[in-house]
Amino acid sequence: MLLRTVNNINRSESGETWLTDSQLEQLYNDFIDFDNWEANEFIAINQFRLDTPGGVKEFIIPDVVLFVNGLSMVVIECKEASGYASDPMEKLKHGVEYMA
């Protein structure tokens, strides 16, 4: 998909390509540095609002969202440890709605 997108914009105003075919074949992106963890940026944000166009709700606000280099990687919903607080299966369903 990245290659197709770059191909679409790989033209100057005069119509000349600015990347060669071999350069296009070598396109890749490392969003996370798995070899050098210190080179990554880790952020945890509580009450981070996520708009959900076309979703069940207009937006959701999970308790914690974990980011690596600006990419949301983990969504955490914190619940009470007491079994009397609520039905855990209902809360699991609520979490699945976040992913829909």
**pLDDT tens profile 46-63:** 999 988 888 788 998 989
Residues 51 and 89 both lie in one domain: yes
- At residue 67, does pLDDT exceed 90? yes
Token pair, residue 88, equals 């855990």
Mean pLDDT of the 20-31 span:
77
The pLDDT of residue 41 is: 97
As a whole number of angstroms, the distance between CA 44 and CA 26 comes to 33
Domain that holds residue 73: 35-100
Residues 100, 61: one domain? yes
CA–CA dist 46, 75 (Å, integer) = 10
Q: Are residues 97 and 52 in the same domain?
A: yes
Cβ pair 56, 68 in contact under 8 A = no
pTM of the model: 0.56
Q: Sorting pLDDT into bands at 50, 70 and 90, what band is 88?
A: low
- Does residue 22 sit in the same domain as residue 54? no
Domain total in the chain: 2
- pLDDT attached to residue 99: 58
